[in-house]
Amino acid sequence: MPKGTQAPLKHRFLALVGQGFEDVELTPYTSLAGWTRLFPNLPEIQVVITGFHEVIRSRHGLRVLRELDLETAAQHEWDAVIIPGGWPDEGYEELYQEPVLSIIRRTHAQGGVIATSCTGIFAVGEAGLLKGRRATTYVSPNGCCSLCANNAERLAEYGALVCQEPLIADERILSDIGPAIGLRGALALLEVFIGEASVARLRAELLLDGTPMRGKGLGAID
């Protein structure tokens, strides 16, 4: 690099991914991080995947490779921690233990952002960071997901102020209700690091704003 040239800024996000995770609550973060590389002068966003297994399987069959083991991840500093939700009957609750909880506490204490979807917020509760803070989670609208029937009550047990809004931000802790909001949650996290104007450019490039939907039965994307 030429003398006097400043290295481009890089933000490092750690994705804590549990067995039985929900696919669409992880992929928006990894995809949007890649899209930011298309824009000159934007900071580089790196998403690093970690978990208890070398190969982490989602509820619906997607498999992702762990890039860093948890013990090593715990020794690094992260600008943000991402926690996609998952299904307890698939082993997802493995995230509610050490060293995951220490990573969450340390990142938040050092000024980092914690971004969660669906049941991912429970790991933040287990880490003791929800008392008196606003948060949301997934609740099945029709009761068809019996595993999620008591999610709101569980969130309240952590001392959280349970909200009905789809996306909540409170003191650098982001939570959203789950699958339908995953993309919005990822955009909200990016906005913290690249700014509102850059996120607007990204939304336009992704055709999220002002795109005519000519097919029958197609509603608004966002």
Q: How many CB atoms lie within 10 A of CB 167?
A: 16
The domain total for the chain is 1
**Among 85, 150, 149, residue whose Cα is nearest residue 122:** 85
Predicted structure pTM score: 0.90
Confidence at residue 142, expressed as pLDDT on a 0 to 100 scale: 74
> Pairing state of beta strands 63-65 and 55-57?
antiparallel
**Among 75, 24, 87, residue whose Cα is nearest residue 50:** 75
- The residue ranking higher by pLDDT, 76 or 180, is 76
Domain interval for residue 137:
10-205
CATH code of the domain in which 193 resides: 3.40.50.880
Residue 2 lies in a domain: no
Tens of pLDDT, residue by residue over 146-174, are 777 799 999 999 999 999 999 999 999 99
pLDDT > 90: what percent of the chain?
Answer: 80
- Is the CB of residue 208 less than 8 Å from the CB of residue 221? yes
Question: How deeply is 20 buried, as exposed, middle or buried, from its count of CB atoms within 10 A (0-12, 13-18, 19+)?
Answer: buried
Residue 86 lies in a domain: yes
> What is the 8-class DSSP label of residue 166?
S
Give the span between the Cα atoms of 27 and 211, in whole angstroms. 22
Flag whether pLDDT at 178 surpasses 80: yes
